[in-house]
Structure 1
Amino acid sequence: MPTCPNCSSEKTVKNGHIHNGKQRFKCHDCGRQFVKNPTKIVIDQEKRELIDRLLLERISLAGIARVAKASERWLQSYVNQKYALVPREILVNRKKKGKLTIQCDELWSFVDKKGNKQWVWLALDADTREIVGVHIGDRDEKAARKLWNSLPPVYRQCAVAYTDFWAAYGAVFPCKRHRAVGKETGKTSYIERFDNTLRQRVSRLVRKTLSFSKSLENHIGAIWYFIHHYNESLLV
């Protein structure tokens, strides 16, 4: 009889069969049930943490499955659950009322097919570099309103916002605190640099990628997952 993989006891007996007909054994000492030479790969906590880190890099799910030696079916289920639990609200350090400056921009992406465009609207604190506003959706006035509403209250009350000349910003942002500027001014350089970081780190946003999202929910979850990680990294 095989020894118990849990306690190494030799007091094991046959205990029926599993779903595929393979012999099952039971340990008399610890009660563990097991099969000899199991083929099912157990994903332990250490490997899950590795996968969590790999999800923050420019790697496709198929690539992560190969690196982590996990099945693509299991990985997809794990990712679905993980992204569903990612908070869809900004978590940043509290700010006092006063002089605040944000830079806003939007970048293009798609889900399933290029005809299904999804725009990532972002607002960045020019002093702390934190992402303080996010919305993913269309590129219209309604979307600009959702970006504005995603800002913490102190930014909606006090911040001066620098944006490009896209008309939706001017229709939503308070005119006295909105500055539409060109790239040559450098007033939107930080958010433009973050756009590049996002495209380099989130494989779903890489231009001409084969790692595009097929699920809008996962597309949004992946972006939020990276943004939370990015903001947390600024605190280190």
Structure 2
Amino acid sequence: MPTCSKCSSPRTVKNGRIHTGKQRFLCRNCGYQFVEHPTDKRIDQATRDLVDRLLLERLSMAGIARAAQVSEQWLQDYVHLKAAQTPKQAQVRPKKRGPLSVQCDELWSFVDRKGNKQWVWLAMDAQTREIIGAYVGDRSRSSAQRLWDSLPKVYRQCAVIYTHDWEAYKGVLPQKRHQVVSKDSGKTSYIERFNNTLRQRVSRFVRRSLAFSKSLRNHIGLLWNFIHHYNASLPI
């Protein structure tokens, strides 16, 4: 067996193979995983662009790694960096003061285990279909406040906000402009449709999936990555 390339310990064992089929080893002394005679592979821009597109589809990380022919470790590092760099504020077209209509809803999700619930709070402009605000947290009033704070100022000043009857919204949204409606009314149908789109397109938001998020930072970062893509794809 080769010695560990990190601590030079001879206490190494075989530990599966990397995506190219090359033997991987594990050091029992320091826990480092390595391959003999590694060859650095530079990931070109075309492959990165492909990964960016695949992250917007309902694929697991392992599936993306296979499709793009990159290692899962490189992909995980790439996603960590992308999640950290993605802006956490909606980028929407400027609106003038006047009649505006907003639909709000919450989407259940989890990170690492189903007991760790992470509710995705979303707000959509009913006219343009843009996602104008989002927040990930619990289902309390403080999370409703964070969603409200994430909206551009013009919406907080002028918009009529439609929600279902959830206690957390009360005392946060302006009483005169907050309309509590039933699902049958159709007043929240656009945001509910977006929730379905999100579950169909991003595997970590699928209710029953093995591709769930293990990191809250990545969960939030890739949510915003999809929101930016969705808003940019809307017709002007």
The residue that corresponds to 2:127 in the other structure is 127
- Is 1:117 the counterpart of 2:117? The answer is yes
CA distance in 2, matches of 1:235, 1:80: 30
The residue that corresponds to 1:82 in the other structure is 82
Q: Which letter maps to 1:58?
A: R
The residue that corresponds to 2:68 in the other structure is 68
CA distance in 2, matches of 1:75, 1:89: 24
The residue that corresponds to 1:97 in the other structure is 97
The residue that corresponds to 1:187 in the other structure is 187
Q: Give me the identity figure in percent.
A: 65
Q: Which letter maps to 1:223?
A: L
CA distance in 2, matches of 1:148, 1:125: 13
CA distance in 1, matches of 2:180, 2:49: 42
Which structure's CA Rg is the greater one? 1
**What pairs up with 1:153-168 in 2 under 5 angstroms?**
153-168=153-168
CA distance in 1, matches of 2:150, 2:219: 18
Give the CA RMSD over aligned residues: 1.6
Q: Quick check: 1:86–1:221 contact (8 Å CA) kept in 2?
A: yes
Give the gaps of 5 or more residues in structure 2: 6-37
The residue that corresponds to 1:197 in the other structure is 197
Equivalent residue of 2:118, what SS?
strand
Q: Which letter maps to 1:144?
A: A
Following superposition, the deviation at residue 170 of structure 1 comes to: 1.8
Q: Which letter maps to 1:76?
A: Q
Equivalent residue of 1:171, what SS?
coil
Q: Which letter maps to 1:178?
A: H
Q: Which letter maps to 2:59?
A: I
Give the gaps of 5 or more residues in structure 1: 1-18, 20-37
Q: TM-score, normalised by structure 2?
A: 0.83
Q: Which letter maps to 1:202?
A: V
**CA offsets, 1:150-172, max 9 Å, x none?**
00000000000000000111221
